[in-house]
Amino acid sequence: MAADTSLDKICVIIGASHAGVNVAFSLRREGWEGKIVLFDSDPEVPYHRPPLSKAYLKADDDSQLDLLFPKQNYISENITLCLGKTIVEINKESNQISLSDGSIQKYNKLVVATGARPFIPPIKGIDLASNLFSMRNFADAVNIQKAIISSEEKRVVIIGGGYIGLETAASLRKLGAKVTVLEREKRVLARITAPEMSTFFSKLHQENGVDLLANKNVILIETSEGVNKLLCDDNTTYTADLIVVGVGIKVNTELAENAGLVIENGIKVDSNAKTSAENIYAIGDCTYHFNPHYNRFIRLESVQNAVDQAKVAAAAICGNEVEYDAIPWFWSDQYDVKLQMVGLSTGYNQTIKRIEDNNEKCQSVWYFKDEELLAVDAVNNGKAYVLGTRFIKAKQQLDKEKLMDVSIPIKQTSFLKD
Amino acid sequence: MTKITFVTSDDNSITVEGNTGNVMELAVQNKIKGIDGNCGGVCSCATCHVHVEPKDWEKVGAPSTMEADMLEFDEKVSDYSRLSCQMKVTDAIDGVVLKVAK
């Protein structure tokens, strides 16, 4: 069906991070000739978020933000950036959105790319804590960096041993901080990786001087004269000049929900990124979407999903419908370790770990459900990552005996069944 | 200024100029089709894969081990594959021709 993309049409995008910005530029590539208006409450020109907890934070100089696109590209592509603006309502009956300053913006097509915000756990005293930060926006990274540089003792407690917590720990070590990570579960990265990976990262952080503790449920924060005391439910206490909270996110679904869109663990969209409402699309971290490869609905917090759904939505808006069909991938950089992950390991019943050349720092964990390869976590091992991606995509049956045998090098045909 | 020519998968030849950053960033700034640089330039995603014209291979040089590992089993690999985020824009690569991998 040919879509009306003509000059007098307006596409409004709420949220100008990886998803929102990519849908804007993709719309131009797909032939949208009308206006494109991009809103975000963040005042910065849209930037890459992943480096904030990695390269950006550990630099002790005034390093530059990594912009998603240079400023002039928004001008040359005629994309109107409205930064520092907060949307308070979507009115799908009148095809318009309302801003907190009282103004109204009409749309013909609307893309909701509202993402997520850090979840702040209901710990007693958390709202009165001194120098307590989350890590999501540029302002967070700047504030953490400033607080560390101006702190004499530089005692940091990170609540949560997920990727954000661990990356922040690694970066703050580079800035000379004394870092303690308190993880509530019995191991770090418990929600997303196999025990083998948790063990590897625990050791890596301990080698780098991070005090990394599991089974630590913080129940109280007491703050006096700028120093925080964190109490855990096992009666241990930790002192912090600075606290970073990284215990997960809360999806920004409120605008969509109040507009009457279907919400189910996120904004529910079909394989063309369409929501339950006409002319409204949703993309990125805020969506609950169908993944054909794994044959189920999922919600993902990732750059890959943001960018891939943005392309799908742009095509659909312009009438060139393509179905979303991507294998999720992620990465994390900590110290001298690059972790690359492909696929979704949920539901696995077997893992195979390979260590190449007796080098612990070059390993991979392969997740299987029976004979199906679900996911691969690769540590400093681009070969395992790329090959794993190809095997997962092709639903390639592998010979697990061969995969276990580290004397067989990683090659395209090494692990195929005879 | 360093001149770099990109050839896209639909055989469009586009010459651009730059003097800082890496080649992927230069391509993104200039809207080169097929160069996405999704990971922001940290050698994690291979969405900036190019094939260097053989005549320019010496100017550009071979990839690092980490980059070579990402390329070895890539479906679009050639003997002249590089990830453009790992190539700095310097005088040394002035005039090179890079084909977007397809």
Q: Where are the domains of chain B?
A: 2-100
Domains and CATH numbers, chain A: 10-116+250-317 (3.50.50.60), 126-247 (3.50.50.60), 336-404 (3.30.390.30)
Alpha helices (H) along chain B: 23-29, 57-60, 65-72
Q: Are A376 and A342 in contact (CB under 8 A)?
A: yes
Q: Are A366 and A373 in contact (CB under 8 A)?
A: yes
**Number of alpha carbons in the 13 Å side-chain half-sphere of residue A112:** 39
B66 and A412 within 8 Å at the Cβ level: the answer is no
- What span, in angstroms and rounded, lies between the C-alpha atoms of A154 and A241? 6
A385 and B70 within 8 Å at the Cβ level: the answer is yes
Cβ-based contacts of B18 with chain A (< 8 Å): none
> Which ranges of chain A have pLDDT less than 50?
none
Spatial neighbors of A109 by CB under 8 A, at least 6 apart, are: A9, A10, A11, A12, A279, A280, A281, A317
Q: Please tell me what DSSP assigns to residue B58.
A: H
Q: Tens of pLDDT along A335-380?
A: 999 999 999 999 999 999 999 999 999 999 999 999 999 999 999 9
AA identity, residue A319? G
pLDDT score at A286? 98
pLDDT score at A63? 67
pLDDT score at A64? 74
- What span, in angstroms and rounded, lies between the C-alpha atoms of A167 and A360? 19
> Topology of B2-100 in CATH?
Ubiquitin-like (UB roll) (3.10.20)
A25 to chain B: closest CA residue: B31
Cβ-based contacts of B43 with chain A (< 8 Å): 338, 382
Cβ-based contacts of B72 with chain A (< 8 Å): 382-383, 386
Q: Are A203 and A188 in contact (CB under 8 A)?
A: no
Structure tokens that stand for A68 in this block: 């998603």
> How distant is the Cα of A69 from the closest Cα of chain B, in angstroms?
6
pLDDT score at A5? 78
pLDDT score at A60? 64
Spatial neighbors of A108 by CB under 8 A, at least 6 apart, are: A4, A9, A10, A11, A34, A95, A279
Collect all residues from A whose CB is shorter than 8 A from any CB in B. Answer: 25, 29, 48, 50-51, 54-55, 66, 69-70, 73, 77, 303-304, 307, 329, 331, 333, 338, 340, 380-383, 385-387, 390, 412
> How distant is the Cα of B86 from the closest Cα of chain A, in angstroms?
15
> How distant is the Cα of B74 from the closest Cα of chain A, in angstroms?
6
Q: What is the mean pLDDT of residues B66-85?
A: 96
Cβ-based contacts of B74 with chain A (< 8 Å): 386
B28 to chain A: closest CA residue: A69
Pairing relationship of beta strands A372-379 and A87-91 according to DSSP bridges? unpaired
Shortest CB distance from A381 goes to which of B43, B45, B69? Answer: B69
Closest residue by Cα to residue A239 from A252, A251, A224, A227: A227
Cβ-based contacts of A54 with chain B (< 8 Å): 42
Structure tokens that stand for B57 in this block: 């291979």
pLDDT score at B98? 98
AA identity, residue A373? L
Spatial neighbors of A248 by CB under 8 A, at least 6 apart, are: A118, A119, A160, A162
3-state per-residue secondary structure call for chain A: CCCCCCCCCEEEEECCCHHHHHHHHHHHHHCCCCEEEEEECCCCCCECCHHHHCHHHHCCCCCCCCECCCHHHHHHCCEEEEECCCEEEEECCCCEEEECCCCEEECCEEEECCCEEECCCCCECHHHCCCEEECCCHHHHHHHHHHHHHCCCCEEEEECCCHHHHHHHHHHHHCCCEEEEECCCCCCCCCCCCHHHHHHHHHHHHHCCCEEECCCCEEEEEEECCEEEEEECCCCEEEECEEEECCCEEECCHHHHHCCCCECCCEECCCCCECCCCCEEECHHHEEEEECCCCEEECCCCHHHHHHHHHHHHHHHCCCCCCCCCCCEEEEEECCEEEEEEECCCCCCEEEEEEHHHCCCCEEEEEEECCEEEEEEEECCHHHHHHHHHHHHHCCCECHHHHHCCCCCCCCCCCECC
**What is the helix (H) or strand (E) element at residue B49, kind and residue range?**
strand B49-52
- What span, in angstroms and rounded, lies between the C-alpha atoms of A54 and A56? 6
Is the C-alpha dihedral spanning B80, B84, B89, B94 positive or negative? positive
pLDDT of B76 above 80: yes
Shortest CB distance from A51 goes to which of B40, B68, B72? Answer: B40
B40 and A50 within 8 Å at the Cβ level: the answer is yes
- B94 close to A (CB below 8 A): no
pLDDT score at A328? 97
Mean pLDDT score across all residues of chain B = 95
- What span, in angstroms and rounded, lies between the C-alpha atoms of B15 and B95? 9
A69 and B28 within 8 Å at the Cβ level: the answer is yes
Cβ-based contacts of A340 with chain B (< 8 Å): 44
- What span, in angstroms and rounded, lies between the C-alpha atoms of A305 and A307? 6
**Mutation for testing the B interface, residue in A171, A339, A383 having most B CBs under 10 Å:** A383
**Phi, psi dihedrals of residue A382, rounded to the nearest 5°:** -60, -30
Cβ-based contacts of B38 with chain A (< 8 Å): 303-304, 307
- What span, in angstroms and rounded, lies between the C-alpha atoms of A254 and A395? 38
Q: Are A389 and A409 in contact (CB under 8 A)?
A: no
- What span, in angstroms and rounded, lies between the C-alpha atoms of A171 and A165? 10
Cβ-based contacts of A383 with chain B (< 8 Å): 69, 72-73
b/e per residue A156-190 (b: at least 16 CB within 10 A) = bbbbbbbbbbbbbbbbbbebebbbbbbbbbebbbb
Q: Are A275 and A256 in contact (CB under 8 A)?
A: yes
B29 and A381 within 8 Å at the Cβ level: the answer is no
